[in-house]
Amino acid sequence: MRTFQTLCVVLLAVLVLVPVGANSQNPVRVPNTGFLNDFIMGDTLSNGTRRDTNAVYVLTRGLQYVSSAVMQNSGWTFRMKANDTTGTVPKPVVFLYPNATTQLPPGYFVNAKGNVTVKNIVLSGYFEPLPDYLSALQGALFDFAAAGFSLTLDSCLLTNTNGNHVRSSNAPKNIKITNCIFANMGYLGKSNLGAGKGIDIRGGSVDTLIVSNTTFVNWQDRIIRHFQSTANVKYFKFDHNTLVNGMSYHGFLSLGKLNGNAIVTNNLMVDHFALGQDTDAVRQVEFTDSGEKDAFGFARMTWIIANPDTAGTINWVIKNNYYRVTPAGQSFYDSASILPIVANPALTVGSPLTHNIASRIGADSVNAFKTTTVDLPNTPVLMKEFMKWYRRPFALPDSGANKTKGTGTWKPKFDFDRRGFKYFTDTLNCAYSTSATIYTAATSGYPVGDLNWFPTRYTAWKNDPSTGVETPASQIPESFSLAQNYPNPFNPATQISFTLAQASKVSLEVYDLLGQRVAMLINGENRAAGRYESTFNASNLASGVYFYRLTAGEKVATMKMMLVR
């Protein structure tokens, strides 16, 4: 203890020379006057360089902002978050707004040439206060304009694009989406039925793709598109998500080429494959990655599609997933047995897995997806009339699409149940009954689906060592490190992350300036090599400087942080 007290004194002296936060993120409060893009992209020095590459742009809860041009962060990290006001104050809202030149909203919110981190923001692809602006809806919200960068979205609502909420053709490094709501993916008034996706990574490589505790509502095409891949997703994890009302036109999880771990666990799906398994050459043209055929010689339709794993290089983990076909969903399947939209064979919800994936997980494939009868309290109405329109022939008085992707005879009355952002922030409710079997059917006895609908269970899950974030083999760090906490300064909680290059017995402690230990965050636990994050809540401590110390085997690292009340 005396040695550590001496260390604290030395570090305190350093504080005189190096201010806390000099190398950390620096908050910049953004006004809600003028255009958001003008403020952020104009935040430069007279020589044209960024004023502060560590800036984090802070939007005020309860306020609305407009952005009229694509923002591109060339060589710097785009960081945005809500201010720290919590409780009943709504998250700040950003609308994409028509610019004066094109009279259209920007094609993207951020077109990234650097890392992007966004937290606690509502983002809509058009100016919702004027509903007619929907007719100009553009293609995406986030796009990668260059390879090698990462996107982190946490606790955000993304809604309204005609193409995809997240897109890349340029080999992103990492995509991590947690605690979000993705809504209203697709708009046939501006695109076709092959658009309307959550995450479109085209055919390129991705080191890590993690989607966890996120709810998806209303989509036309796919949740994930990695179709006709030329490179691998090296680590894929799709865990504890809730998915409601999806046509799944060209598939559901179209994963293409993979290598390493592919994890699909603890998800709840309600009318997620609503167009059903069909003989439909237009749809089936993008189910081809598996190489499998149906009874008619067309590409076999399955919920999860991937290139065949003939070499056994993929570690498939698919379990504890549950799905429901609601009465509305079943009535659509049944409607396809009636002229003029008859299907032969009859429509069904279809098969979850390709034969290859089923063979790789063996006996577990039978129970990888199970049915449930749970009802969700408040969700949009299933897009039955939209799907009937798709199947109807051209020639009727109120003609259909005749099973083509084009927009020719589509009318706004056939749009899915497109709700505004306030519905998704205030009214959407996917918290099924706690007496349901699936309430304890996920790994370690947690509820199936997005745990944010069960806040106390989410808190327990987050603090449960058995449910910690797994690290892909391809992403195991090469060195031991302890990162600067974020945010810093903080009040009252902050995140501490660290990496282990090899399995170690780990302790993470917090000390005050007198060298007295005030918190034990990790107490001698065995941890595998990988990246970890721990939350430090200082609500019972006074303002001031504190030190956190990580011990892993014989390695020790210490950092300072500041609590400001």
> What digits encode the pLDDT tens for the residues 23-39?
457 899 999 999 999 99
Q: Which pLDDT score, from 0 to 100, does residue 297 have?
A: 94
Q: Which pLDDT score, from 0 to 100, does residue 274 have?
A: 98
Q: Which pLDDT score, from 0 to 100, does residue 10 have?
A: 45
For 4, 88, 312, the CA distances from 510, given in Å and listed in that order, are 11, 31, 44
Q: Which of 94, 77, 88, 100 is nearest to 30 (CA)?
A: 94
Alpha-carbon distance 412 to 187, whole Å?
A: 9
Q: What is the DSSP letter of 203?
A: T
Q: Which pLDDT score, from 0 to 100, does residue 4 have?
A: 54
Alpha-carbon distance 383 to 390, whole Å?
A: 11
Bigger pLDDT: 25 or 252?
252
Is the pLDDT reported for residue 298 higher than 90? yes
Q: Which pLDDT score, from 0 to 100, does residue 479 have?
A: 76
Q: Which pLDDT score, from 0 to 100, does residue 20 have?
A: 39
Is the pLDDT reported for residue 12 higher than 70? no
CB 536 within 8 A of CB 521: yes
Residues in CB range of 175: below 8 A, 6 or more apart? 150, 151, 166, 168, 199, 201, 206, 208, 209, 210
Number of other residues whose CB lies within 10 A of the CB of residue 206: 24
Q: Using one digit for the tens of pLDDT, what is the confidence trace for 440-488?
A: 999 999 999 999 999 999 999 988 766 755 454 445 566 788 989 888 8
Q: Percent of the chain scored above 70 by pLDDT? A: 93
Alpha-carbon distance 222 to 197, whole Å?
A: 5
Number of other residues whose CB lies within 10 A of the CB of residue 546: 23
At 19, is the pLDDT very low, low, confident or very high (cuts 50, 70, 90)?
very low
Could you give the 3-state DSSP secondary structure of residue 366?
helix
| Placement of tokens 């799906």 in the chain | 269
Q: Using one digit for the tens of pLDDT, what is the confidence trace for 379-399?
A: 999 999 999 999 999 887 778
Q: Which pLDDT score, from 0 to 100, does residue 149 have?
A: 93
Alpha-carbon distance 451 to 457, whole Å?
A: 7
Q: What is the DSSP letter of 438?
A: G
- How do 369-371 and 321-324 pair as beta strands? parallel
Residues paired with 314 in a beta bridge: 260
Q: Using one digit for the tens of pLDDT, what is the confidence trace for 320-352?
A: 999 999 999 999 999 988 878 888 888 999 999
* Mean pLDDT, the chain, whole residue set: 90
At 22, is the pLDDT very low, low, confident or very high (cuts 50, 70, 90)?
very low
Q: Which pLDDT score, from 0 to 100, does residue 80 have?
A: 97
Q: b/e for 95-120, b at 16 or more Cβ within 10 A? A: bbbbbeeeebbbbbbbbbbbbbbbbb
Residues paired with 317 in a beta bridge: 263
Domain annotation for the chain: domains and CATH numbers = 2-13+477-563 (2.60.40.1930), 206-449 (no CATH)
Bigger pLDDT: 491 or 325?
325
Kindly report the pTM of this predicted structure: 0.81
At 5, is the pLDDT very low, low, confident or very high (cuts 50, 70, 90)?
low
Rounded mean pLDDT, 265-270: 98
Bigger pLDDT: 228 or 565?
228
Alpha-carbon distance 69 to 138, whole Å?
A: 12
Alpha-carbon distance 78 to 40, whole Å?
A: 9
Which tokens belong to 242?
């809730």
At 554, is the pLDDT very low, low, confident or very high (cuts 50, 70, 90)?
confident
Bigger pLDDT: 60 or 169?
60
Q: At what angle do helices 327-335 and 384-391 cross, to 10 degrees?
A: 10
Is the pLDDT reported for residue 8 higher than 70? no
Q: Which of 472, 490, 488, 449 is nearest to 528 (CA)?
A: 472
Bigger pLDDT: 275 or 87?
275
Alpha-carbon distance 65 to 187, whole Å?
A: 23
Residues in CB range of 355: below 8 A, 6 or more apart? 290, 292
Could you give the 3-state DSSP secondary structure of residue 555?
strand
Which of 35-49, 235-249, 340-354, 517-531 has the highest average model confidence (pLDDT)? 235-249
Which tokens belong to 20?
């806390």
Bigger pLDDT: 97 or 407?
97
CA atoms in the 13 A half-sphere facing the CB of 200: 24
Q: Which pLDDT score, from 0 to 100, does residue 87 have?
A: 67
